[in-house]
Structure 1
Amino acid sequence: MVRTDIEIARAARKRPIQEIGAKLGIPADALIPYGNDKAKVSAAFTGSLGGRPDGKLILVTAVNPTPAGEGKTTTTVGLGDGLARLGHRAVICIREASLGPCFGMKGGAAGGGLAQIVPMEEMNLHFTGDFHAITSAHNLLAALIDNHIYWGNALGLDSRRITWRRVMDMNDRALRDIVCSLGGVANGFPRQTGFDITVASEVMAILCLASDLADLQRRLGAIIVGYTSDRRPVTAHDLGADGAMTVLLKDAFQPNLVQTLENTPAFVHGGPFANIAHGCNSLIATRTALKLADYVVTEAGFGADLGAEKFMDIKCRIGGLSPDGVVLVATVRALKMNGGVGRAELGAEDVAAVRAGCANLGRHIENLRGFGVPVVVAINHFDGDTEAEIEAVRAYAAQYGVEAIPCTHWAEGGAGTQALARRVVDLAGESAAFSPLYPDEVPLFGKIETIARRIYRAEEVLADARIRARLQQWEEEGFGHLPVCMAKTQYSFSADPNLRGAPEGHSVPIREVRLCAGAGFVVAICGEIMTMPGLPSQPAAQAIGVNEDGQVDGLF
């Protein structure tokens, strides 16, 4: 009988978190336990690691996601376990789960089968409270803005030019655009605003990109919340909010240590989405892991056109990181869908569709190689895959001089990634020549065009005069050196989620741009992408509950 992911996770033989920390040389007094199986690593300890050499940094990314599934997190976990089985000191670094997708349609974010991080239920629910702290810090700033205006508005904020919205960690389309402060004088001055999901918050991005508490507060203070009537920016520091926000985030800023089913250490910290934010776990967790391990296996959200590009151009640029190798995850099923096969027909062998869908794989290989980092393809194996289909993927990847390795980690855990782990060790031993896609001095619109043309293979970027003028204004204000974070559908290289494969010559429409001065990037919102998702017609929440044994049912 096949066990479900949650049944496997509940049967896990977890070790006390102090033992997991000891594998990395973390003393027990540097851990702040949250029960027996998870802990935060103290700021004092992470701050003491600066003089140590770094291990090898391996990024796991994927082809564009499809309803057939790719298993990027599962592969990240399986590869970490595989490296540990080879005798290497390995650490996995992934993001925390947002409640919105868990109760919407995506489900959990801890891996699957025998390649999971535990405790799975806690990780996919409240975990150590980091997202709640980020939500509270963000909304404290929002409250201080309206309070400042209510009590005289000494800074002269123009209520029509307030850019700071509120957030919550749940999908709720009804809150995308709202009017607040109705009900009379005592409730303040009515204005139009809205909500984003917490993972799109600039506070989330700041927590994930700050190097220490002092840098965290500096970045929080640099947040631009709006403008005066003569277009002067007003910051969180101007409002005196940065100190209190830092206090709310002080504990959340410390990385969370947990373990895999095979007791490999894992840092799970931060959680920006890659389709509307920069899609990587926290810089402090990655840096800490690099000081403690031989190999750090991390992932970036969604396909390589989003998560990997932002990992290279935002996280590595800001954090001074240089990846040693990239694992590009694909499944036969996903490639069939990119080749035009419907979900109901995925069970039948279709080598021609696999070959057609490999165009998506090839595009990602080309893009990743453009960063100067060696690549290997991991074929995440499903039971229905045939040898002919797998061979088609291998042969296609070989045309690019890249090895494609079948992996059975879902069914076998780390034992199913041994060949991949050995190849990753070989890749990491090669001399990578990492370079971001564009230099800092390229103008902001030029950076958008560079990503659109070189990564998406677009013919043009559509942006009206208002958007172009705003980008130019930010350059004049000293923000022209910032990287760009593209908010775009994850399902396609284009802005059309239904355009699969490897389209070329399309247009990328820019609907809106946002300056995240504290995080250190400019967001370009493309097409119909939303920073506050909605729930599907049948939300996962409708099947979730507590059974008679007090256990959660339906979440996974």
Structure 2
Amino acid sequence: MHKSDLEIAKASKMRPIAEIAEKLNVATEDLRPYGKYVAKLPLKLIDESKIKGKKLILVTAITPTVAGEGKTTASIGLTEGLNKIGIKSVVVLREPSLGPVFGMKGGAAGGGFAQVLPMASINLHFTGDFAAVEKAHNLLSALLDNHIHNQKNALNIDPRKIIWKRVMDMNERALRDIVIGLGGSSQGVPRESGFDITAASEVMAALCLSKDLMDLKEKLGNIIVGYTYQDEPVRAHQLKAQGAMAALLKHAIMPNLVQTIEGNPAILHGGPFANIAQGSNSIIATKMGLSLADYVVTEAGFASDLGGEKFLNLKCQYGGLKPDVAVIVTTIRALKSHAGIPFSELTKANPLAVREGLPNLEKHIENMKHFMLTPVIAINKFSTDSEEEIQEVTKICNSLGVKTAVSEAWEKGGDGAIDLAYAVKEAAESGMSNFTPLYSFEWGIEQKIETVTRKIYGAAEVEYSVKAKQQIKLFNKIGLDKLPICIAKTQYSLSDDPKLINKPSGFTVKIREFDIAAGAGFIVPIAGTIMRMPGLPSKPAAENIDIDAEGNITGLF
């Protein structure tokens, strides 16, 4: 019987965080400790002069399925493997959100023998970064409504055009749409509002795209909270909010140093959603890793068409980052799922179904080649996978000139990822990659959208609603048309229809409206219906979590 992730984590011997820092040549006096096993890293450790020549490895995946792909586990395992073959490597990841932890998906600390520690702490409150983002976001909400109530709406804000909601780090469907200000004239001005989950906050997105604290403060000031009766944007700096918001984020802007099960350094920072934001850790954390190690392994949320595309077009352009390799994580079970095999039958050997599901993987390989990146395929192996099924993947990848490696990091830790580590090292040192973004920020909004939808999704057409066309005119008028795009769509399909699995073609992407993240620095075209505040499932994971009198937590994965 397999041990749970939490049991494996508890049985692992953790080193004091100062020992982990030593591996990165970080002095103890530069650490900001949070207990014995976690520390904040000050931004002064980022050294642009040391980044040149370092290797940045992006870990992405095929289109997600209910079978799971294990991207975080593969990222941690690859880092363990690289260190085992003598490469000074660090994994840089997002922080988990409490919504998935207490809901259905689970945490974001890896799994099996490829985890980051202390696992329970990381998955719960950790160092309070999410709480700081939540407080900064809600401070702006409070100042906005206070302005309308106490300052007689001197900025002439149209309450019907306020787009700034409130956030909390929990799945709570009852708060998606609410009415506030009820109870009489002393309780504020009644209006419609709602809550998003903290990971969906623009404050989170801005934090993860900032260069430093002053850059973050400027981004916070540029947040658009709503519009006047004349359709002029109202920004946070007009409410004098950015200083106090940045003050709340003074510590949250510093990345967190933790360790893997095998005692290698890991940096965790930020956690924006991948379908409505950029879906990757901060520019600061990535540059911290590149300043302190020779190889940095980092992942982007969901598949290459979501987190991968946004990492490459948006984060890399803002951060001046240049990846060397794109690892695409796949599983035999997921490929069979893309062939239409029901979940209950995925453990049965079925090489034909694997072959039928391979077009999805081929599309993600094509996507990385659009960016002039060398792909490496990581087959995240399960015990039910047959050798014949694995050969189906290897065969098609060989025909495309793409290297594959089986990863057994979940079961064997770094020893199970040595083949993958060598494949990544070879690709990184080959000089074959010449990373090139798909579009320039200077392009028009429609041109950027159509480039991504046609090249990365494989769409035949793009269709805009009347509302979307009106918003494009408004963005052009107020000078937001030069921002990059961050398309919000389902993660379950290359298209905007979650039912179209594998590699659909001939479809039309329908842009029904836009959100704006002018502070963080991107426009959000919305294709389909995207949930910014998830709900809990019928049997939430929270029901299994418990604690005893000695403070031992159980039931956490």
TM-score (norm 2): 0.98
Mean alpha-carbon deviation: is it higher for 323-332 or for 531-540?
A: 531-540
Show the counterpart of 2:126: 127
Show the counterpart of 1:437: 438
Asked whether the 8 Å contact 2:45–2:291 carries over to 1, the reply is no
- Counterpart of 2:389, as a letter, is E
Aligned pair 1:487/2:485, yes or no? no
* 1:278-317 pair list within 5 angstroms: 278-317=278-317
Distance in 1, matches of 2:357 and 2:329, equals 14
Distance in 2, matches of 1:53 and 1:143, equals 41
Asked whether the 8 Å contact 2:545–2:553 carries over to 1, the reply is yes
Return 5+ residue gaps in structure 2 as ranges. none
Distance in 2, matches of 1:552 and 1:339, equals 39
Show the counterpart of 1:22: 22
Return 5+ residue gaps in structure 1 as ranges. none
* Structure 1 residue 412 displacement after superposition: 0.9
Asked whether the 8 Å contact 1:257–1:268 carries over to 2, the reply is yes
- Counterpart of 2:444, as a letter, is P
- Counterpart of 1:382, as a letter, is F
Distance in 1, matches of 2:93 and 2:287, equals 13
- Counterpart of 2:238, as a letter, is D
* Structure 1 residue 548 displacement after superposition: 5.6
* 1:381-396 pair list within 5 angstroms: 381-396=381-396
Cα deviation per residue 1:60-100 (whole Å; 9 max; x = unaligned)? Answer: 01111111111100000000010111111101000000000
* Structure 1 residue 469 displacement after superposition: 1.8
Asked whether the 8 Å contact 1:72–1:299 carries over to 2, the reply is yes
- Counterpart of 1:93, as a letter, is V
**Number of residues of Structure 1 aligned to a counterpart in Structure 2:** 554
Mean alpha-carbon deviation: is it higher for 406-415 or for 426-435?
A: 426-435
Mean alpha-carbon deviation: is it higher for 306-315 or for 465-474?
A: 465-474
* Structure 1 residue 220 displacement after superposition: 0.5
Show the counterpart of 1:52: 50
Aligned pair 1:356/2:356, yes or no? yes
Distance in 2, matches of 1:205 and 1:99, equals 17
Show the counterpart of 1:140: 139
Aligned pair 1:80/2:84, yes or no? no
Cα deviation per residue 1:254-311 (whole Å; 9 max; x = unaligned)? Answer: 0000000011100010001212221000110000110111100000001111110000
- Counterpart of 1:57, as a letter, is L
Show the counterpart of 1:555: 556
- Counterpart of 2:166, as a letter, is R
Show the counterpart of 2:116: 117
Show the counterpart of 2:529: 528
Distance in 2, matches of 1:311 and 1:479, equals 20
Show the counterpart of 1:416: 416
* Structure 1 residue 383 displacement after superposition: 0.3
Distance in 2, matches of 1:84 and 1:44, equals 25
- Counterpart of 1:117, as a letter, is V
Distance in 1, matches of 2:49 and 2:346, equals 51
Asked whether the 8 Å contact 2:60–2:302 carries over to 1, the reply is yes
For the aligned residue pairs, the C-alpha RMSD in angstroms reads: 1.2
Aligned pair 1:509/2:510, yes or no? yes
Show the counterpart of 2:12: 12
SS at match of 2:442: coil
- Counterpart of 1:444, as a letter, is I
Asked whether the 8 Å contact 1:100–1:169 carries over to 2, the reply is yes
Show the counterpart of 1:173: 173
- Counterpart of 1:91, as a letter, is V
Show the counterpart of 1:40: 40
Show the counterpart of 1:217: 217
Show the counterpart of 1:466: 467
Asked whether the 8 Å contact 1:332–1:385 carries over to 2, the reply is yes
Show the counterpart of 2:62: 63
Show the counterpart of 1:271: 271
Distance in 2, matches of 1:181 and 1:443, equals 40
Asked whether the 8 Å contact 1:445–1:468 carries over to 2, the reply is no
SS at match of 2:51: coil
Show the counterpart of 1:159: 159
* Structure 1 residue 462 displacement after superposition: 2.6
- Counterpart of 1:104, as a letter, is G
- Counterpart of 1:209, as a letter, is L
- Counterpart of 1:457, as a letter, is G
Mean alpha-carbon deviation: is it higher for 166-175 or for 374-383?
A: 166-175
